[in-house]
Amino acid sequence: MDRITRRAALLLGSLATPGLARAQGSTWPDRPVRFVVPYSAGGVADTIARIMQARVAEHLGQPFVIENRTGASGAIAAAAVAQAPADGHTLLFEGATFATLPEVRRDLPFDYAAAFIPVVQVTTQPYIIGIRAGFPATDLAGFVAEAKRRPGEVTYGTPGVAHIGHFMGEALQLAAGIRLEHVPFRGGADVARELAAGRIDAGIISYSSLRPAVERGATLIASTAGQRQASLPQIPVIGETFPGYDMSSWTGVFAPAGTPPAAMQRFGAAVRAALADADVRRRLEAAGADAVESDPVAFADVIRRDRETARRIVQATGLRVG
């Protein structure tokens, strides 16, 4: 059992002791809860946070304040939350990059596994490959053919180095036998802006982030999921062309290590209440995300699985960034 799973199990176990839970969380929250999102406004994490913001605040009885702190593929935001008081009033909202980044960044000033407790998974969602208007292809096969014709010249953007989108791009290159040029940004919205302007050839980001680029002529050619989404049946999956390809991202909430378990129980309940709201679920689906029912142990298992996948990709590609 790794550190994250062990911490999640301890959290779940402590919540089974009602007296302890009441003692630790009876007054939480006693002021606004700060929700730190590591990516730019308009990206998938920011979009999902804002979709559930009002319902979570209503359940907590306190303002629920979203703060975008971009840079270093999420590490700047994570460091800020890790250093915050472990009282439940400052939380991190991350995606699968929480699992991938530590596998290639050896220069991080903190240990993700030791610094955080997984609280609750919120969604799961694939990423989509979008290509710019005027690119000499309209589907995945054509994109791969163009990349083979111009090895190392076709560019693709993601929300950062060692972000889950970067790993998805590395996995595609392995599967297709191509070489692409990775261009990192501070968030999916930034990737979409550059894609819409034609300054990069492709982007591997969320559906919600890509929509503004689609309105300006970008084409969605493939999903990273293992099978087509019910909400996006028109978008083929990479695995239809390269069998076995199956990678998705997720969003979830993390607290600094040492945060009172009962505060996390209450926050998890607030998230689950928000996700039970029909309008919230409809808006998430429209953004290309699926709500998840989760507890800390199940969430820790998801993180462990994605770290193992990241390690395999690192071993196959030699990817290192620090």
Residue 19 makes CB contacts below 8 A (sequence gap 6+) with none
Which residue intervals of the chain bear CATH 3.40.190.150? 3-125+249-317
In angstroms, rounded to a whole number, what is the distance separating the alpha carbons of residues 171 and 306?
13
For β-strands 249-256 and 116-125, DSSP reports them as antiparallel
In the sheet where 155-158 sits, what is the strand order? 181-184, 155-158, 202-205, 128-131, 219-223
Q: Which two tokens stand for residue 98?
A: 């929480």
CATH number for the region 3-125+249-317 comes to: 3.40.190.150
Residues in the chain: 322
Q: Which two tokens stand for residue 218?
A: 């970008």
pLDDT of residue 23: 41
For β-strands 155-158 and 202-205, DSSP reports them as parallel
Q: Which two tokens stand for residue 53?
A: 């913001």
pTM of the model: 0.88
pLDDT of residue 2: 64
In angstroms, rounded to a whole number, what is the distance separating the alpha carbons of residues 199 and 73?
21
In angstroms, rounded to a whole number, what is the distance separating the alpha carbons of residues 289 and 127?
10
Alpha helices in the chain (DSSP H): 3-15, 18-25, 44-60, 75-82, 97-104, 112-115, 140-149, 164-176, 188-196, 207-214, 261-275, 278-286, 296-317
Q: Hey, CA dihedral for 70, 74, 76, 82, is it positive or negative?
A: positive
pLDDT of residue 138: 96
In angstroms, rounded to a whole number, what is the distance separating the alpha carbons of residues 275 and 272?
5
Under a CB-based contact definition with an 8 Å cutoff, are residues 49 and 18 in contact? no
pLDDT of residue 21: 43
Positions in the chain whose pLDDT score sits under 70: 1-26, 322
> Position 233: which residue type?
P
Which residue intervals of the chain bear CATH 3.40.190.10? 128-240
CA neighbor of 33 nearest in space, from 47, 52, 19, 20: 52
pLDDT of residue 1: 60
Residue 252 makes CB contacts below 8 A (sequence gap 6+) with 93, 94, 95, 98, 118, 119, 120, 121, 122, 294, 299, 302
pLDDT of residue 106: 83
pLDDT of residue 18: 46
Q: Respond yes or no on whether the N-terminal peptide bond of residue 136 is cis (omega within 30° of 0).
A: no
pLDDT of residue 293: 86
List, in sequence order, every beta strand (DSSP E) within the chain. Answer: 33-37, 64-68, 90-95, 116-125, 128-131, 155-158, 181-184, 202-205, 219-223, 249-256, 290-291
Superfamily of domain 128-240: Periplasmic binding protein-like II (3.40.190.10)
pLDDT of residue 215: 96
